[in-house]
Each structure stands twice: as C-alpha cells, then as structure tokens.
Structure 1
Amino acid sequence: MKDYLIVGSGLFGSVFAHEANKRGKKCLVIDKRNHLGGNVYCENIAGIQVHKYGAHIFHTNDEAIWQYVNQFVKFNNYVNSPVALAKGKLYNLPFNMNTFYQLWGVKTPAEAAEKLQHQIEQYGVPNPQNLEEQALSLVGKDIYDILIKEYTEKQWGKKATELPSFIIKRLPVRFRFDNNYFNDRFQGIPIGGYNGLINGLLDGIETLTDADYFADRTYYDNLAEKVVYTGKIDEYFAYEFGQLEYRSLRFETELLNQPNYQGNAVINYNDADIPFTRIIEHKHFEFGTQEKTVITREYPQNWTPEKEAYYPVNDDKNQRIYKQYRTKADTIEKVIFGGRLAEYRYYDMHQVIASALKTVKNEFQNQ
C-alpha cells in the first residue's frame, strides 16, 4: 500500500512525489504516456534535445524556485529572443526599440513614444470590450495589425473581436534596444534537456508509464491512501457540470541535413495564410553545433477529448464551470488536485513548481 498515487508525471506530480519521498512517504507515479515528464519531456534526435511538446524556456524572478531546480540539473544561459515574420519582414520581440525601428524607422525613445502615443490616441477606446479594442488601446494600429491580430486569431481559433480583452491585460513595451523576451532575473534551459530535471525529481520513486488512470480507476485508487491528481478536473468528475474548453496543438518535427535552418530558436509566423504559428529550431536552445538540425512547426487547433489539452480557455463561461468543479474537489479529502489541468490555469513552469511546493507545505504542515 502506497501513501500517495500521483497521476501524471509532469512538473507538479514530480515535485510533489519528490517532496513526499523526502518525508519518508511511499509514492507511485503513473502516466498514460509512454514516457515521464509530461509536456517538458525531451527526445534526443541526432544528438539534439527536442522539446517534444513545444518550446519550454525556464524563467523566474523567484530565487528560491531557481535554486530548487538547480539542485537537479545545471542550466545554461539561454535568453529567449524570438523573432516574428510578418508581411515578408522580420521583427524583434518583445516590442522594443529594434521593433519600432523596423516598423517606423524611428531611432530614439522619444520618437518611438510619440509615434506610439499618437496611435493609441487615434485608435484606442476608453473601455475596451474585446481583445482588438484592448490591443489598439495599448499599442495602436500598426503593431496590432502587423504583430498581434493574425497571430492571435490563429492561436485562439477566433476573431480578435470575439476574444475577451483580459487575454492581453498588458503588452510589454520597451523604449530600449532589448530583445530579451522575459524580464525575469533567472532564465535558461537545462543542459542536456528537461529529462534530467524530471529524473532527478523522481530518483528512487516507483513509476509506471502507459498507465491510464481512467482505464481502471478503482484499481489505481486502491493502491494508495491518497491520490494526487494532475489531469483535467472536468474529466475526473465525468464532466458533471459540463466540459471545460481547452486549446490544443499539433507538432510537425523534421530532421534536416543542414547545420542551421533559421538562425534562432523561435520564429513566429504571424500571417493568417500560414497555418502554423511558429517554427522551433531546437539546437539553438543549447547553442548546438551538430551537423544536422531539427525543426518543429507548431499548429494550433481546436481541442477535442482525443487530443492533448495544452492550455485552458479562461473566459467567464469556463471559469464559472471550473468553480463548480473546484468546489466539489475541495470536499474530497483523499484527493489532491494540482497542476495546469487540475487547476485550469495557464501556468509557466516556475508557477507549476510553486503551486506544487505550496501544496506540499499544506499537506505536510505538521511534519
């Protein structure tokens, strides 16, 4: 008999298992996939660590979280500096002086600020009701039309006028020549990929892959005193209050017989007539010098139950449904719900780890 059955071997499940194991608890971690690590899993192709489920760049301002992950694996000094291809031209992201020069030819912060403010005054609205109005009120028409509208509509599968304004409560604008996408103090990629982090967390803990919790739920529940569930919360309750909405992704990965395809780890493809949102060239995450390269095209798509749920659609309707599930979940003493899908939140990696550590603190507060 185990103390904890952990359903899902992503970051939340792996961190909880590690911390419980440290406290002398017996854990079994199961995953329905044929590998551990959830969406941070990396696959070695031609000596290149390929982020199988999309780009994962670790970044945080929380020094304790940074020190926590560095216990298990060394991180390199990769800095995320994506580029966007729109209307045949390349633009630096996030919006900074390089972007403004590429858009308007302005060379000073004062010129850029004046241009931006003029467009905001011309196209912004006092009380934005949708994403389009919100974006126009934050950055004006040029940036919205070229760098936001078509990309966002591809990403969400809806017109910008149909999307809620809160999706972009703010847009980072920098009046300096700075292509570092994140403002966080700590940033990097685990040297050798994320599998080292997961393997470190799960060292000495029993694991089982190709194990679908819902295929024999009673059997799995009887293996442990408590369950830590990291899957979709609506699926756990058999969609009792309705099905939550997610967005899914499809990946096309290709090994190319050339050393360098695009010169950057991430290039966004903004135009609506290109079906994918970005191309990832994985070797650049670790400054690779291999003779070949691996690229992945990322296609957003509507979610259906047979597809992977990558991020929640956190509009008012779905939040109302989620609250009903959350209320019911809070009444079940023998099950802990946590992680991106169980909490129905768009988490970055450091936020998942923080949530797991908070759960651990609550669970073992008297130990």
Structure 2
Amino acid sequence: MKHRHILLVGASFSGAVIGRELAEAGHRVTVAEARSHVAGNCHTERDPETGVMVHIYGPHIFHTDDVEVWAYVNRFAQFRPYTNRVKITARGQVFSLPVNLHTINQFFGSTMRPDAARAFIAERSDTSITDPQTFEEQALRFIGRELYETFFKGYTAKQWGRHPHDLPASILKRLPVRFSYDDNYFSHEFQGMPAHGYTALVQTMLDHPNIEVVLNTTIDQAAASGYDHVFYSGPIDAWFGHALGRLAYRTLDFHRFSCEGDYQGCAVMNYADKDIPWTRITEHKHLSPWESHEGSVLYREHPRECGPGDIPYYPIRLVTEKQMLAEYVERAQAVRGITFVGRLGTYRYLDMDVTVREALDTARHYLACLERGTAMPAFTTSPL
C-alpha cells in the first residue's frame, strides 16, 4: 500500500489519535494546530507560583466503560485513580451531586430508605407529562418541582442562556438520580486522571518519527491542498467560511483567583442559584489529589454566547442550528479528500472517551478504504 501524506487539522484527542494510528501504519502525518499548545481544551499546565496542575479550559476527568479505549490512553500516560465527587451550593446549603439519597434526605429533612425515597419522589413527579420534550418537562416528570427548581432551573438557565422550557429533554437525560448514597458523579468502570496532565499524554501520542506538529498555524481550504487526505477537527462551519451562517455555541469566561490553603474542600462546586453569576468554581489542586500544594488556584466559570474569536465549548443544537448543520453536512458530503471529526467537526457534545473511540474507528476506516481502493467518507459518525 502506497504511503500517503495526511494532514490533521487540530492537535486535540481526535487529531492525536488518528495521527498516531496512521503514523504507525507508515504514513507521513502533519498535525497543524492553531493554538500554541497541543491537547485542545484538555490542555493542562503547571502554575508557576503554586506548582498546581491547572486544567486551563476547565476540568476534564477521563471516564469510560470502553476497555480498548482505556487500554489505549494508558499506553501513553500513567493514569491515577480519581473519583469525581461534585458538590452544589443551593439556597444557602451544600448538597451532593448527582441527586442521590443523601441529597434527597438532606433537602427534605428526612431519613428515608431507598424504596421510601423512590416512592416519595414518584409522588412529587408530574405524571401528566407522558412524553417529555423539553428539559423542564423531563425534570418535572421524573424528580418533581422542588428538586427541579432548587438544583436545575437556575443552573441550566445560566449554563445555556435559555429557559429550560426552550431546551431539549436530552440534556437532562445525562444527569442521573440515585436512590443510594453513591455520590460518584460517573458510573463508568474506568475513571482516572493522567498523572502528569493531558498535555503530556497528547504530546506522547504525537511523539512519532512520522508525525510533524506545527503550532500557531491556522489551516483553510487553500492551505490544505496538496495532501492526500485531510482530517479536520475544527468547526465545520468555519471550514466553509461560515457561508450559511455561524453554528451556535456557548463559551466560558474563566475568572482566576488564588489563595493559601484549601478554599472549598473539593474540585468542583456548582452554584444553582440564578442570582449568583457563575455556574461553578474549580479548585484545581483537588483534581490531582496525589499531590500536595500549600497554595491553590481556582477558576470561576461564567458561560455566555460564543462570538467570533471566542473558544466554542458547548454546541447548542436547537432546531435552527440543526437545520443549518444539515446544510453544512450536505456540503461536506459533496467534497472529496476531507473527513470531519471530533466535537467541532461534527457539532456534537463528546466526552473524551467517545472522542478517542471515534478517532480510532475513523483511522481504521481510512486504512480499510486504502486497502479496498474506495473513497473515505466525509463523516464516519453522522452529525445528525
């Protein structure tokens, strides 16, 4: 099989995994990254004053049930066990998330056992809502008005900039309610944190003689010509010059502050009340509990609409955006020699493990297409 020269646009997990797989198959790979560092929004770096490992674009915890993906990332970094235990401040008290038996008993001033709590919440649920379509309907149907208005209504309005009755029910389906005292935010078999940060992990992935990494480099259609194939993990609408309009995202402003000692006693503290302008505070040293630091670095997160020049975080994917996305997908499918990958390339919210899985599958699909002599599609996972 003839070895190809492949361009990867973006040095995040999508680009790093695809690039590594193709490089190991003997192909020449160029990875172009617009920022001054690799790892995308997972980028981590040491704070020079405190020595704390800071998640520059917000906290990232690796969690998965995918055995192959877990083994794959462990090839490139030592992972330390990490359990994500999130707290939330609401109405002057601190509770555990996700909503669990402790949260329920604390909120209602009770000592219910699991079955009693399940029946109690069922009594408060709005059973007249048989087919929840919105975030608000989903919450009212399954947890009732008291828990919804305390823990979800204000936080959601801040996070998305929209009333919960304007958001799809699918957003809330990712948030479990547990009738046990399990306060592990995730339920996956494998959970951990790379001991030396995500940037070191991605740098190791990209450390191969067939891979060239070029930072501070923006790639457009003209700059991408001359390669045998392009894998693009930037925003799909940007590739087409926003010809059909800009897809909507939420972005985050991080307000950094520091202190001596321990500020909040946990890595992530959410703030549910609408009159508090931030959604959460991250205390970064608690994301590396195997380390010890006297000083502490913290970020307050303020979500807002994403404008030109901002970093896109969360695709909104409401009706108008889905219509625009469908038109961009149609354009993409009419182009040969490029495959759109990752969160921005497919305009989907993706956890890190799903990103790695899709990147592995995409690289294998490309190699299979070369073997068969068939064309590589624009998408290996449909954005729609």
Tell me whether the two structures share a fold, i.e. TM-score over 0.5: yes
Question: Which residue is equivalent to 2:118?
Answer: 113
Contact 1:106 1:112 in 2 (8 A): no
The farther-off stretch of 324-333 and 172-181 is 324-333
Q: Give the superposition deviation at 1:113.
A: 1.3
Question: Which residue is equivalent to 2:301?
Answer: 298
Q: Give the superposition deviation at 1:243.
A: 2.0
Q: Give the superposition deviation at 1:129.
A: 4.0
Contact 2:126 2:142 in 1 (8 A): no
Q: Give the superposition deviation at 1:164.
A: 2.5
Written as runs of structure 1 = structure 2, the 5 A alignment for 1:87-106 is: 87-106=91-110
Question: Which residue is equivalent to 2:11?
Answer: 9
Contact 2:122 2:142 in 1 (8 A): no
Contact 1:138 1:171 in 2 (8 A): no
Alignment counterpart, residue 316 of structure 1, candidates 314, 319, 329: 319
Question: Which residue is equivalent to 1:72?
Answer: 76
1:203-249 Cα offsets, whole Å, 9 max, x none, are 022111111114xx42x323522211111101111223332111111
Q: Give the superposition deviation at 1:121.
A: 4.1
Alignment counterpart, residue 201 of structure 2, candidates 197, 201, 204: 197
1:264-323 Cα offsets, whole Å, 9 max, x none, are 000001111111100001111111311101111111010112111111112222122212
Residue 189 of structure 1 aligns to a residue whose secondary structure is strand
| 2:352 is the alignment partner of 1:349 | yes
Question: Which residue is equivalent to 1:261?
Answer: 263
Q: Unmatched 5+ residue regions in structure 2?
A: 372-384
The farther-off stretch of 242-251 and 88-97 is 242-251
In 2, Cα distance between equivalents of 1:35 and 1:110: 51
Alignment counterpart, residue 285 of structure 1, candidates 281, 284, 287: 287
Alignment counterpart, residue 54 of structure 1, candidates 36, 42, 58: 58
Residue 64 of structure 1 aligns to a residue whose secondary structure is helix
Written as runs of structure 1 = structure 2, the 5 A alignment for 1:112-261 is: 112-121=117-126, 125-169=129-173, 171-204=175-208, 205-214=211-220, 217-218=221-222, 220-256=223-259, 258-261=260-263
Identity of matched residues, %: 38
Question: Which residue is equivalent to 2:35?
Answer: 33
Residue 341 of structure 1 aligns to a residue whose secondary structure is helix
| CA 198–171 in structure 1, closer or farther in 2 if over 3 Å, else same | closer
Aligned length: 362
Kindly provide the amino acid, as one letter, of the partner of residue 120 in structure 1.
Answer: S
Alignment counterpart, residue 328 of structure 1, candidates 324, 328, 331: 331
In 2, Cα distance between equivalents of 1:73 and 1:164: 37
Q: Give the superposition deviation at 1:347.
A: 0.1
In 1, Cα distance between equivalents of 2:131 and 2:116: 27
Q: Unmatched 5+ residue regions in structure 1?
A: none
Kindly provide the amino acid, as one letter, of the partner of residue 296 in structure 2.
Answer: T
Kindly provide the amino acid, as one letter, of the partner of residue 118 in structure 2.
Answer: A
1:13-44 Cα offsets, whole Å, 9 max, x none, are 11111111101111111111111110110021
In 2, Cα distance between equivalents of 1:59 and 1:28: 29
The farther-off stretch of 329-338 and 193-202 is 329-338
In 2, Cα distance between equivalents of 1:227 and 1:170: 33
1:132-156 Cα offsets, whole Å, 9 max, x none, are 1221101101110110000000000
Contact 2:14 2:356 in 1 (8 A): yes
Residue 346 of structure 1 aligns to a residue whose secondary structure is coil
Contact 1:138 1:170 in 2 (8 A): no
Contact 2:159 2:279 in 1 (8 A): yes
Q: Give the superposition deviation at 1:120.
A: 0.4
Contact 2:11 2:40 in 1 (8 A): yes
Instruction: Kindly report the root-mean-square deviation, in angstroms, between the aligned alpha carbons of the 2 structures.
Output: 1.6
Kindly provide the amino acid, as one letter, of the partner of residue 21 in structure 1.
Answer: A
Contact 1:227 1:336 in 2 (8 A): yes
Contact 2:234 2:345 in 1 (8 A): yes
In 1, Cα distance between equivalents of 2:133 and 2:353: 31
Question: Which residue is equivalent to 2:374?
Answer: none
In 2, Cα distance between equivalents of 1:326 and 1:185: 34
Kindly provide the amino acid, as one letter, of the partner of residue 116 in structure 2.
Answer: E
Kindly provide the amino acid, as one letter, of the partner of residue 263 in structure 2.
Answer: Y
The farther-off stretch of 57-66 and 357-366 is 357-366
Contact 1:131 1:166 in 2 (8 A): yes
Q: Give the superposition deviation at 1:166.
A: 2.8
Runs of 4+ aligned structure 1 residues displaced above 4 Å come to none
Contact 1:34 1:210 in 2 (8 A): yes
In 2, Cα distance between equivalents of 1:31 and 1:252: 25
Residue 340 of structure 1 aligns to a residue whose secondary structure is helix
Residue 27 of structure 1 aligns to a residue whose secondary structure is strand
Alignment counterpart, residue 363 of structure 1, candidates 352, 363, 366: 366
| CA 302–19 in structure 1, closer or farther in 2 if over 3 Å, else same | same
Q: Normalised by the size of structure 2, how large is the TM-score? A: 0.91
Kindly provide the amino acid, as one letter, of the partner of residue 262 in structure 2.
Answer: N
In 2, Cα distance between equivalents of 1:64 and 1:307: 34
